[in-house]
Structure 1
Amino acid sequence: MDLTAARLQALLDAARADVDARLVPACQISVGLDDEIVAFETFGDAGPGTRFAARSITKALVASAIWLLLGEGLVDPDAPVGRYVPEFDADGRETVTVDHLLLHTAGLANAPMTWRDGTEPDRRRRQFTRWRPATRPGSRYAYHSASAHWVLADIIERLSGTDFRDFVHERVCRPLGLPRVLGIPAAAQQDIATVTWMGTGEWGGGTPAIDRAMNEPEVRAAGLPSGGAFFTAAELARFYQALLYDTGHLWQPEVLADATGTIRCELRDPIFRVPCNRSRGLVIAGADGKHTRRYGAFGHTSSPAAFGHAGAHFQVAWADPATGLSFAYLTNGVVPEPAGEIERAVRLSTHAASLLEPAG
């Protein structure tokens, strides 16, 4: 199937209009179809080789590394984390399972971890011993913006004997023909877009410090497993094509099918006020008509089988098995009003999800 030219132009025009209106300083859009990248455009103060902070889209990438370990029988998703991370075997943490981490139900949403502590295994593990679940593991959904993926990174390191950033590169990115996207050395950061505050004056007082920190070479090099990957939109759309087709047979078929197609948590998302529809690492659109309100930034015309994961300030990445499309939208703008970001993401995703429909 071919893209409908008029609908593709509408998608590109919508992205360009946001830059022209100075809502964002730059953005990239890419579309994948049938295991190929079929559209890739950059607008604003960036070029086709510019990489953007993908933020929480990183979570799906790190989860895909865990899927490799699941397929090799090294990780049991129902097992307590303490089987792999001894520091978890006490103080209420002993009932946290690997699935609880992947599904954001571990009760540790606000557990503290600085990037400096997280990147040093000994310091990271000492910090684990200070964590206490705020709710009974498995009983509630609460978005674990950072904590859960530091534990997943630790599991990767303990089972593989490899730094988690190197494992992601060697076992996921390199086989897919992608460059290193997690843990970028300072000497290789010249093509990364600066995260830019779009409000008036200096950075907004309510803006999370991590937004500004994403411009720091040390933080970029740290490779935060919850939100520190840097992609071009084409690379990201290519990753999602791999999740659709896996022509390189990277993952065990049953593990990949489960991760991209099985909703394992439907607990209510207290932020978006809908069932969270979480799989082991992804968000699935679902058939309840609430898919545009989930943290997948799906379009109105996405199918119930679409899967993906958004990022802070609504970076977008998803794929739709019903059409074979994958879509990525990245920007370096941080805006004062989050509602506008959500609307922009859904609007662009709706254009993208409709690319194979007849125009008119």
Structure 2
Amino acid sequence: MIAETASSPIASASPEALGLDPAKLERACEIVVSHIAGDFHPGAQLAVARHGKLALYRGFGNATVDPSRPVDERTLFPLFSNTKVITAAAVWTLVEEGKLRFSDRVAEHVPGFEAHGKEGVTVAHLLTHQAGFPAAEVTPECFMDRERLRRAVCEFKLEWPPGSRSIYHRTAAHWVVAVLIEAITGNDYRDEIRKRVIEPLRLTREMFLGLPEAEDHRAAAMYTPRQTEKWPLDPMVSAPLFRRSGIPGAGGYATARAMAVFYQMMAQGGTWGGVRIVSPRMIDYVTRDFTGDLVDDYTGYPMHRGLGPFSLGQSGHPGLGAIGHPRTFGHSGVGTSYCWADPTSGLSFAFLSNCRRDNAWHNKRMDTLSTLIHASILG
């Protein structure tokens, strides 16, 4: 078990005190250990929280393998698409300030975005992956150049009419969200996300969009499945630009503890540590199922997307646990991670690892772990 320190953003309590079965939590840890022993990934973190307290926070294996560096409580893992919900949370705050509506057309705030037929794209389209340009890309030279980035997203071209289909926008939609945040606030989107979400949660040491060079020593390396004795580094993540740029839909870094806190905030109706991030009504709204049984053409199944996270729904969702309450909501990170909250029980969960497995195996792993965590609820 990772020990609680004075700098921890959340107090700890025993599983029993939080109404959780410690044997179920321990079994989840045993499965993670078995996956590391089976060479599915070098290292991981697992965190479980309930009712504002941390029931479990454990590190496993190695953050880096050459040289060997164990995972500890301060290890930061790449979040990949878990970043999308953090970015979306900044949008929620703008809506609550009356500076934006989910029904607003992006072009109302970003002049020029209407080019190539995009005048009908709304904020809700972006957050539910129905914007119509899933294959659009932003080149690396735009990552740290605000004006270049704005021009790049304005040049995105529609592949189908907005709102007519659901197809996962890997990074394109959230690059537009970043430009939208900058257009409304006049500030760099990374600074706004830090100010609006990360700082109020007291996570400035455990959650980053744009990892400072001074924190590189804490970052877990990301690997691809090994075929020989050596673990191959993921070339995208190992590039300094990836760490610095804070790609709004894929480039965050955090600890599992930080992600458990982020989802505790949502499980508690938008408030953490006496600080209100957004209202309970906002959390209820953005975690609703806006796409229902509409099949996402990228994943091949209904995603039950909200305005940031997706939900388990009545028909289920890979990775969120078969026995979870339908209101359970969260997000995954490509083949590596999963974070979620169950607002009906006050439970939040975060698993982060450092090898990009295929999604079929990853979803099966996460369904097993998430089901165990749901089963740990005693009442």
Once the 2 structures are TM-superposed, how far is the Cα of residue 203 of structure 1 from its aligned partner? 8.2
Partner of 2:4: none
**Corresponding residue SS for 1:88:** coil
**Corresponding residue SS for 2:209:** coil
Partner of 1:280: 307
> What TM-score do the two structures reach when normalised by structure 2?
0.87
Q: What is the CA–CA distance in structure 2 between the aligned matches of 1:21 and 1:351, rounded to whole Å?
A: 20
Q: CA RMSD in A?
A: 1.7
Q: Please list, as runs of the form range in 1=range in 2, the aligned pairs for 1:274-313 lying within 5 A after superposition.
A: 274-288=301-315, 290-292=316-318, 297-313=319-335
> What TM-score do the two structures reach when normalised by structure 1?
0.92
Give the letter for the 2:333 counterpart: G
Q: Does 1:86 find its partner at 2:111? A: yes
Match of 2:34 among 13, 17, 27: 17
Does the CA-based 8 Å contact 1:68-1:252 persist in structure 2?
Answer: no
Give the letter for the 1:340 counterpart: W
Q: Please list, as runs of the form range in 1=range in 2, the aligned pairs for 1:57-72 lying within 5 A after superposition.
A: 57-72=82-97
Give the letter for the 1:212 counterpart: P
Give the letter for the 1:141 counterpart: S
Q: What is the CA–CA distance in structure 2 between the aligned matches of 1:36 and 1:5, rounded to whole Å?
A: 15
Q: 1:243-287: per-residue Cα shift (whole Å, max 9, x none)?
A: 111242111332222112x21123211233322211111101101
Partner of 1:111: 136
Q: What is the CA–CA distance in structure 1 between the aligned matches of 2:340 and 2:115, rounded to whole Å?
A: 37
Partner of 2:46: 29
Deviates further, 320-329 or 269-278: 269-278
Q: What is the CA–CA distance in structure 1 between the aligned matches of 2:32 and 2:222, rounded to whole Å?
A: 18
Which of the pair has the greater relative contact order for Cα pairs under 8 Å at 6+ separation?
1
Q: 1:47-82: per-residue Cα shift (whole Å, max 9, x none)?
A: 221110010000000000000001111111111110
Match of 1:255 among 279, 282, 296: 282
Partner of 1:320: 342
Partner of 2:163: 138
Match of 2:201 among 151, 170, 176: 176
Q: Does 1:4 find its partner at 2:21? A: yes
Q: Please list, as runs of the form range in 1=range in 2, the aligned pairs for 1:223-234 lying within 5 A after superposition.
A: 223-234=246-257
List runs of 5+ in structure 1 lacking aligned partners: none
Q: Does 1:329 find its partner at 2:346? A: no
Does the CA-based 8 Å contact 2:181-2:189 persist in structure 1?
Answer: yes
Q: CA, structure 1 residues 285+318, in 2 after alignment: closer, same or farther (shift >3 Å)?
A: same
Once the 2 structures are TM-superposed, how far is the Cα of residue 215 of structure 1 from its aligned partner? 1.6
Partner of 1:341: 362
Does the CA-based 8 Å contact 1:234-1:328 persist in structure 2?
Answer: yes
Does the CA-based 8 Å contact 2:130-2:163 persist in structure 1?
Answer: yes
Q: Does 1:238 find its partner at 2:261? A: yes
Once the 2 structures are TM-superposed, how far is the Cα of residue 130 of structure 1 from its aligned partner? 2.3
Q: What is the CA–CA distance in structure 2 between the aligned matches of 1:182 and 1:256, rounded to whole Å?
A: 22
Q: Does 1:44 find its partner at 2:61? A: yes
Does the CA-based 8 Å contact 1:30-1:233 persist in structure 2?
Answer: yes
Once the 2 structures are TM-superposed, how far is the Cα of residue 161 of structure 1 from its aligned partner? 1.7
Q: What is the CA–CA distance in structure 2 between the aligned matches of 1:251 and 1:146, rounded to whole Å?
A: 25
Partner of 2:65: none
Q: What is the CA–CA distance in structure 2 between the aligned matches of 1:125 and 1:84, rounded to whole Å?
A: 12
**Corresponding residue SS for 1:40:** strand
Give the letter for the 2:73 counterpart: P
Q: Does 1:126 find its partner at 2:151? A: yes
Q: What is the CA–CA distance in structure 2 between the aligned matches of 1:97 and 1:338, rounded to whole Å?
A: 29
**Corresponding residue SS for 1:140:** coil
Structure 1 residue runs of 4 or more that deviate by more than 3 Å after TM superposition: 201-204
Q: 1:11-67: per-residue Cα shift (whole Å, max 9, x none)?
A: 111111111222110011000100122110001012221110010000000000000
Does the CA-based 8 Å contact 1:28-1:40 persist in structure 2?
Answer: yes
Q: Does 1:194 find its partner at 2:248? A: no
Q: What is the CA–CA distance in structure 1 between the aligned matches of 2:118 and 2:180, rounded to whole Å?
A: 15
Partner of 1:356: 377
Deviates further, 345-354 or 270-279: 270-279
Once the 2 structures are TM-superposed, how far is the Cα of residue 357 of structure 1 from its aligned partner? 3.8
Q: Please list, as runs of the form range in 1=range in 2, the aligned pairs for 1:159-174 lying within 5 A after superposition.
A: 159-174=184-199
Once the 2 structures are TM-superposed, how far is the Cα of residue 190 of structure 1 from its aligned partner? 0.9
Q: 1:167-218: per-residue Cα shift (whole Å, max 9, x none)?
A: 11111111111024111112221100000122215888xxxx9x42112222
Q: What is the CA–CA distance in structure 1 between the aligned matches of 2:141 and 2:153, rounded to whole Å?
A: 14
List runs of 5+ in structure 2 lacking aligned partners: 1-17, 63-70
Q: What is the CA–CA distance in structure 2 between the aligned matches of 1:5 and 1:257, rounded to whole Å?
A: 30
Q: What is the CA–CA distance in structure 1 between the aligned matches of 2:161 and 2:169, rounded to whole Å?
A: 15
Q: What is the CA–CA distance in structure 2 between the aligned matches of 1:317 and 1:55, rounded to whole Å?
A: 12
